[in-house]
Amino acid sequence: MNSNIAGKVVVITGASSGLGEATARSLSVQGATVVLGARRVDRLQALVDALTASGGKALALATDVTDAAQVKALVDEAVRIFGRVDVMLNNAGLMPHSPLERLKLDDWDRMIDVNLKGVLYGIAAALPHMQRQKSGHIINVSSVAGHKVHPGSAVYSATKTAVRVISEGLRMEVKPYGIRTTVLSPGAVSSELMHSVTEPDVAEGIRQFYAEYAIPAETFARMVVFAMSQPDDVDINEILFRPTDQEL
């Protein structure tokens, strides 16, 4: 059990499946208390039940990250019950790729609302508590697409690039409070992200790509553990990782 993870209170959005679920399981095993937010309450509660049955501490709260009040309520509940929030993992995201010429305005709005504003709402919810504590760790999820743009990924890449920019600005601003910041940029990692693609032809191409290259969600969890487990005077600011075979 890692001494810099055990006992920490970790809030995770997008926790009902994929990267968020894998991270919740990994951190719980290492002694963290996990406070889980997502829209699918049944899956969240099943995860909480499994974690607590194994001796862990976990709490679930229905959370739509496009609603700032719900994100604030998630973090506030963590603080009310457990006394503090040590880590905020802004993980919720979606990836409805499509060429711009298809004019998928609803998809564009959803990506901006979830991938970008959802991260900002997470920061807004956690930051005041961490400032009062003079400690904390905010972990934001970007993507390889936040480093490289490909046809069909323009809006998604824009949101993920913005997450990196916001994270760097946050890093500099929170120095007086002893708060650490990390931005994770995964490549193809198994999750339900591909299911958010609304164009059938694009979805099939992404499905084939993930079937060939994707690595397990637990890989992402190990990156979170690595960043969290460093001594308090070490701030891992960015981790970019891919499957070994992924070229893009």
* Active site amino acids: 156
Which of 111, 194, 197, 207 shows the shortest CA–CA distance to 160?
A: 111
The values of phi and psi at residue 22, to 5°, are -60, -40
Residue 14 DSSP class: S
Burial 217-228 (b: 16+ CB within 10 A, else e): bebbbebbbebb
Judged on CB neighbours under 10 Å (0-12, 13-18, 19+), 155 is: buried
Distance CA 103, CA 187 (A): 26
Instruction: Work out whether the CA dihedral 139, 141, 144, 145 comes out positive or negative.
Output: negative
What is the distance of C-alpha 147 from the center of its chain? Answer: 17
84: its two tokens: 């503090």
Residues 6+ apart with CB under 8 A from 130: 85, 88, 136, 138, 174, 177, 179
